[in-house]
Amino acid sequence: MTTKPYIPLSSKLHDWVTTADHKKLGVMYILCGIFYLLVAGCEALMIRWQLAFPNNDILAPETFNAFFTMHGTTMIFLVGMPILLGAANYFVPLMIGARDMAFPRLNAFGFWLFFFGALLLYFSFLGGQGLTGEEGAPEVGWFAYAPLTSKTFSPGSATDYWIIALFVAGMGSIMTAINLVTTILTMRCKGMTMMKMPIFAWMMLVDACLILIALPTLTAIQIMLLLDRQYGAHFFDAQAGADPVIWQHLFWFFGHPEVYILILPAFAFVSEVTPVFSRKVLFGYPMMVVATVSIGFIAVGVWAHHMFATGLSPAVLSYFAGATFLIGVPTGMKIFNWIATIWGGHVRFDTPMLFAVGFIAMFTIGGLTGIMLAVVPMDWQLTDTYFVVGHFHFVLFGGLLFAIFSGFYYWFPKVTGKMLNETIGKWQFWFIFVGFVLTFGPMHFSGFEGMPRRIYTYMPNRGLEMYNMLSSIGAGVQVVGIVLFIYNIIASLYKGKPAGDDPWDAWTLEWSTTSPPPPWNYAELPSIASRRPLWDIKHPEDPDWEYE
Amino acid sequence: MYLGILPHIVECCLATASTAGDIPSPENLSIFDPVSPVSTTIRDLFMLVFGVIGIIFVVTEGALVWSMIRFRSKGDETTEPPQIYGSNPIELAWTVIPILIVFVLFLVTTRTIYSLDLQEPPEGALRVKVTGHQWWWEFEYEDLDITTAGELHVPKGVPVFVELRSFDVIHSFWVPRLSGKIDAIPNRENHLWFQADEVGTWYGQCAEFCGTQHAKMLIRVISEDKEDFEAWVTNQQLDAVEVPSALSGKETFLSLACVNCHNVDGVMLQGGFAPNLTHLMSRETIASGAAENTPENLRKWLRNPNSIKDGCLMPNMMLSEEQIELLVGYLTTLK
């Protein structure tokens, strides 16, 4: 082993701050995402503490409202987005056999926009009081319905910080999306046609296209809202005669694709992990591509299913119900294809696979409750209740976060050169899984019992006590899992087993280079003949390209 | 239908939930216990959809779990399993079958949407204008010339046509056992209807986040027999009663800023921003259901409204104990 030359800390820092390397940017995105996961997790714990008992007064109503606003905003924009962009950044060039992204400096700019946008959002805790001395952080909910966001109903500067933070971070996401689309379309290695790309790259391509369609709408309405608040424009100002429902249409035109923007990368992680640990090729690759692209198209046509209670006409209601049912079809195709991939394999239940099957099982439940919510008259009962909170946590926690953990355990060896501890990983899975079901399962039932979401307290004697207590206990169980996760990362970085280039016996290009990969990924750019280039090398007698 | 058993299962689960022993008559808000044609239609639709979803759930999760157990690695395999790249007939099957299922769901949904939609009041319906305020509900019976707050009285078995508006931000009117929720939106009028088929009190609350006290923007719908309702109407149509012993309380009321927001019919009508107090004592609760309507709670409320509803828009009037006694003395005469 060669001794490493001494590099002072300031040089290392300088290196990270000025880097345009897609891998370093990817790591920074993901580290930021994990940091904000812990922050938003703490906010959620405070929420669960307050709701553990009826008429509890741990939190003042204003504080509770600020916490759920910040929890939602943080989880979506500062956890989901950076982790998915970080993973795309890190692995898309490696998987398509490129040396970096198409525009490395734009890539760095995008990251730093996100970084400072995130700081702005959290600065609202300090600076949000502004001159009027009201509020500490925004108290408007993550979708911030007008006219509650107007200066009249939300004085102070907190809402302005929220607007500017999402505007800045959103610009970063748009730039990264442009970069991803360009990279995937133009920088694939020799032999990699579109239909020979890893499914990961396909899903990230559709994801980036969705970002390009949806995020500009968010950016535009944030500017409009800022003009309303700062310069007395009347885009959403109901007191000046504006129709506040316009905000909902525009927000959900961004907001619903956003859900798919978050879940497509989760599909991507699971679609890579499931075949490797089942020892089988992904079942029905062309169908998976078709399903992904159709999800991309349908995702921009379902937004008003968030607005079934706003008094839309029956024809509009029927259309959006139909479109929402329809998106269940390609999503179902994916679930069946994953199961068919497992079917007939030699399934190894290492931690990445545990989280991947956890994802499939829990996401299926989240998808099915989504179908229930698309039945408009049922939605009239269930929307804005804890049933919805349970539904989208099954999608975004049981779905997205499980997939993130799966991908994290799968690719950590590639990024760091060290394996994560498997024993701790399995304990983490079971704590997170049990805690998750215990927290979010009962929420469906408290919704049936008439508990609206976003209430800082609830009345006793309405049959809500047990469900809320179970949820709060579940949150405590999850804490153990998260602590194990953080401990595992730190411990494995110092004394983890060396990973080698290809610890999982996997098939995509990133496993052909060293762990961690060298600065320019490949000394010689690879050339491929099938979707699983490493399979072809390992099984020259039965290569993939004969069947594709 | 065998699915009819589901609500009972859910009920059993719920019965164990309300363990708070000595508190009388738990308030039931379950969407599975409808007392109105609207919520009954939704419950029945729910059971149908729940059955379809349940079958999909069992098949999918069953296939997943079975394949996980059946095909788990024993650790002694020397070769890779057969590589199956896909199968057109199978994939076509699990595309077409879901399309058929969602088509059926679409038809059922659309039929129910059209059958429940009601833009015009039905024959013989009671029209009520419901206005959401931060954080209380105002009920105006324009045909009967009544304005009240927090508690909506309706006759049993008569359709009630609700015209929903908002005074400030978006609220949502939801009484689960009577109907689904519809938003109250400024500059718009939305409609919903229900018909309470039993005598009783039906609970609900605002379902759209509307600011600090969203949690305590509660609703009570009180359905009564025809005679009781008519008696209530007759009383509500009267102006405020004059009780000589409460005259100094009335003077105090008129001398303070109370009248800038609160109306009392026949006494002072310059407010409207806050609940009408003409028949305050006919209500079971104050502060939109946040507290029982007792003289003690009225005192507490007048001393500092934030002690009952933290962040509410009624300011602390910094009243002396003497003023509070006089005011409560007056308010308790407003029967």
Name the burial class of residue A88, with classes exposed (0-12), middle (13-18) and buried (19+) by CB atoms within 10 angstroms of its CB. Answer: buried
Give the distance from residue A140's alpha carbon to the nearest chain B alpha carbon, in angstroms: 7
The answer to whether residue A128 scores a pLDDT higher than 70 is: no
The secondary structure of A391-431 as a DSSP string is HHHHHIIIIIIHHHHHHHHHHHHHHHSBPPPHHHHHHHHHH
CB contacts, 8 Å: B74 with chain A: 346
- Give me the residues of A, 218-257, that contact B with CB < 8 A: 238-239, 241-245
Structure tokens at B281: 């004592």
Q: Mean pLDDT, to the nearest integer, of A211-234?
A: 95
Give the distance from residue B212's alpha carbon to the nearest chain A alpha carbon, in angstroms: 6
Nearest-CA residue of chain B relative to A453? B207
Mapped onto helix, strand or coil, the DSSP state of residue A298 is helix
How do B126-133 and B160-166 pair as beta strands? Answer: parallel
- Give me the residues of A, 443-482, that contact B with CB < 8 A: 445, 448-450, 452-467
Contact yes or no for A61 and B310 at CB 8 A: yes
User: In angstroms, rounded to a whole number, what is the distance separating the alpha carbons of residues A323 and A162?
Assistant: 31
Name the burial class of residue B45, with classes exposed (0-12), middle (13-18) and buried (19+) by CB atoms within 10 angstroms of its CB. Answer: buried
User: In angstroms, rounded to a whole number, what is the distance separating the alpha carbons of residues A456 and A437?
Assistant: 22
Q: Is the dihedral of CA A366, A372, A375, A379 positive or negative?
A: negative
Within 10 Å of residue A233's Cβ, how many Cβ atoms?
A: 16
pLDDT digits (tens, 9 = 90+) for B246-293: 999 999 999 999 999 999 998 888 888 999 999 999 999 999 999 999
Please state at what angle helix A81-95 crosses helix A158-186, rounded to 10 degrees. 10
Interchain contact A304–B (C-beta under 8 A): no
User: In angstroms, rounded to a whole number, what is the distance separating the alpha carbons of residues A20 and A16?
Assistant: 9
Q: Are A447 and A463 in contact (CB under 8 A)?
A: no
Cα angle A317, A320, A325 (rounded to 5 degrees) comes to 120
Mapped onto helix, strand or coil, the DSSP state of residue A336 is helix
Interchain contact B12–A (C-beta under 8 A): no
CB contacts, 8 Å: A332 with chain B: 94, 98
Structure tokens at A217: 């709408």
Look over chain B and give the mean of its residue pLDDT values, rounded to a whole number. Answer: 90
Give the distance from residue A89's alpha carbon to the nearest chain B alpha carbon, in angstroms: 28
Residue A335 has a pLDDT of: 96
Q: What distances in angstroms separate CA B328 from CA B255, B261, B300, one per listed residue? A: 15, 17, 10
User: In angstroms, rounded to a whole number, what is the distance separating the alpha carbons of residues A134 and A332?
Assistant: 47
User: In angstroms, rounded to a whole number, what is the distance separating the alpha carbons of residues B203 and B210?
Assistant: 19
Q: Mean pLDDT, to the nearest integer, of B108-114?
A: 94
CB contacts, 8 Å: B48 with chain A: none
Q: Mean pLDDT, to the nearest integer, of A460-487?
A: 95
Residue B4 has a pLDDT of: 47
The answer to whether residue B1 scores a pLDDT higher than 80 is: no
The answer to whether residue A57 scores a pLDDT higher than 70 is: yes
Contact yes or no for B181 and A462 at CB 8 A: no
The answer to whether residue B206 scores a pLDDT higher than 50 is: yes
- Give me the residues of A, 12-71, that contact B with CB < 8 A: 60-62, 65
Phi-psi bin for A339: left (phi > 0), alpha (psi -120 to 50), beta?
A: alpha
The answer to whether residue A45 scores a pLDDT higher than 70 is: yes
Contact yes or no for B209 and A342 at CB 8 A: no
Contact yes or no for B60 and A364 at CB 8 A: yes
Q: What distances in angstroms separate CA A153 from CA A238, B108, B139, B168, one per listed residue? A: 11, 41, 23, 8
Q: How confident is the model at residue A548 (pLDDT cuts 50, 70, 90)?
A: confident
CB contacts, 8 Å: A285 with chain B: 85-86
Contact yes or no for A244 and B187 at CB 8 A: yes
Q: How confident is the model at residue A177 (pLDDT cuts 50, 70, 90)?
A: very high
% of chain B residues with pLDDT over 90:
82
Give the distance from residue A246's alpha carbon to the nearest chain B alpha carbon, in angstroms: 12
Q: Which helix (H) or strand (E) holds A185?
A: helix A158-186
Interface test with B, best of A459, A471, A548 (most B CBs within 10 A): A459
Give the distance from residue B242's alpha carbon to the nearest chain A alpha carbon, in angstroms: 36
Residue B26 has a pLDDT of: 81
Of B64, B74, B181, the CB nearest to A384: B181
CB contacts, 8 Å: A278 with chain B: 71, 81
Nearest-CA residue of chain B relative to A539? B80
Q: Are A93 and A505 in contact (CB under 8 A)?
A: no
User: In angstroms, rounded to a whole number, what is the distance separating the alpha carbons of residues A393 and A439?
Assistant: 10
Structure tokens at A304: 């008003």
Q: Which residues pair with B286 in a beta bridge?
A: B291
pLDDT digits (tens, 9 = 90+) for A109-126: 999 999 999 999 999 888
Interchain contact B89–A (C-beta under 8 A): no
Interchain contact B6–A (C-beta under 8 A): no
The secondary structure of A429-494 as a DSSP string is HHHHHHHHHHHHHHHHHHHHTT-BTT-S---TTSS-HHHHHHHHHHHHHHHHHHHHHHHHHHHHHH
pLDDT digits (tens, 9 = 90+) for A290-302: 999 999 999 999 9
The secondary structure of A360-373 as a DSSP string is HHHHHHHHHHHHHH
pLDDT digits (tens, 9 = 90+) for B212-241: 999 999 999 999 999 999 999 999 999 998
Residue A129 has a pLDDT of: 65
pLDDT digits (tens, 9 = 90+) for A296-332: 999 999 999 999 999 999 999 999 999 999 999 999 9
pLDDT digits (tens, 9 = 90+) for B41-77: 999 999 999 999 999 999 999 999 999 999 999 888 8
Mapped onto helix, strand or coil, the DSSP state of residue A78 is helix
Interface contacts (A, B; CB < 8 Å):
310
Contact yes or no for A281 and B14 at CB 8 A: no
Three-class HEC string of chain B: CHHHHHHHHHHHHHHHHCCCCCCCCCCCCCCCCCCCHHHHHHHHHHHHHHHHHHHHHHHHHHHHHHHHHHCECCCCCCCCCCCCCCCHHHHHHHHHHHHHHHHHHHHHHHHHHHHHCCCCCCCCCEEEEEEEECCEEEEEECCCCEEEECEEEEECCCCEEEEEEECCCCEEECCCCCCCCEEECCCCCEEEEECCCCCEEEEEECCCCCCCCHHHCEEEEEEECHHHHHHHHHHHHCCCCCCHHHHHHHHHHHHCHHHHCCCECCCECCCCCCCCCCCHHHCCEECCCCEECCHHHHHHHHHCHHHCCCCCCCCCCCCCHHHHHHHHHHHCCCC
Q: Are B295 and B328 in contact (CB under 8 A)?
A: yes
Q: What distances in angstroms separate CA B81 from CA A275, A343, A438, B77, one per listed residue? A: 11, 10, 37, 9
How do B160-166 and B190-194 pair as beta strands? Answer: antiparallel
Written as one letter, the residue type at B213 is Q
DSSP state of A518: P
Contact yes or no for B203 and A326 at CB 8 A: no
